[in-house]
């Protein structure tokens, strides 16, 4: 296991990632995902980093493995009709009492063709910023799949 190199600096925690090099985060940017992400259950500590050059995209960087990072978008920006309803079990696991407490993000994939960027609407990442916890869920009953085109040509 390669853990991210960490050091404390004035104002935040410093980490190293193979994707973006050295970076600093505040405690509020760090999330615990008890089950990790699908395919990466051992990586449970992540941070969200805003990408200045792409304001609608954020990087979900593993703090357990500097090689692991995912680009995320909020689906409402690209898919206005995207809806999900959380079962009571998921609400409890995320300590949610109101829908407004949750942020929904989806992983995007950049393909060789620069005009082909896809979003995984079937397995959104749900974050409770106040509690700094999150879960990736799989939507089996809805018409979503793992490769929705982000921008139609």
Q: In terms of residue numbers, what domain contains 126?
A: 28-149
* Residue ranges with strand state E in the chain: 6-9, 12-17, 21-25, 30-32, 45-50, 58-62, 69-73, 103-110, 117-119, 125-128, 133-136, 148-149
Tell me which of 10-19, 75-84, 120-129, 142-151 is least confident. 10-19
Q: Is residue 63 part of a domain?
A: yes
3-state secondary structure of 77: helix
Where would I find the H helices in 17-150?
Answer: 88-93
Q: Is residue 9 part of a domain?
A: no
Q: Is residue 42 part of a domain?
A: yes
Q: Is residue 17 part of a domain?
A: no
Q: Is residue 114 part of a domain?
A: yes
Q: What's the predicted TM-score (pTM) here?
A: 0.85
Number of domains within the chain:
1
Q: Is residue 22 part of a domain?
A: no
Which pLDDT tens digit goes with each residue over 80-122?
Answer: 999 888 888 888 999 988 888 899 999 999 888 878 899 999 9
CATH number at residue 111: 2.30.290.10
């Amino acid at each position: 296991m390669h853990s991210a190199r960490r050091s404390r600096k004035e104002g935040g925690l410093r980490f190293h990632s193979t994707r973006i090099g050295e970076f600093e985060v505040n405690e509020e940017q760090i999330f615990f995902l008890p089950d990790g992400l699908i395919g990466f259950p051992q990586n449970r500590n992540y941070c969200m980093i805003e990408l200045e050059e792409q304001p609608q995209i954020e990087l979900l960087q593993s703090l357990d493995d500097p090689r692991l990072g995912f680009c995320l978008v909020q689906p409402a920006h690209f898919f206005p009709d995207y809806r999900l309803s959380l079962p009571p079990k998921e609400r409890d696991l995320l300590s949610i009492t109101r829908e407004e407490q949750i942020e929904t993000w989806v992983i995007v994939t950049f393909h060789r063709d620069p005009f082909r960027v896809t979003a995984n609407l079937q397995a959104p990442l749900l974050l409770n910023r106040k509690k700094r916890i999150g879960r990736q869920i799989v939507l089996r009953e809805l018409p979503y799949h793992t490769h929705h085109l982000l921008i139609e040509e």
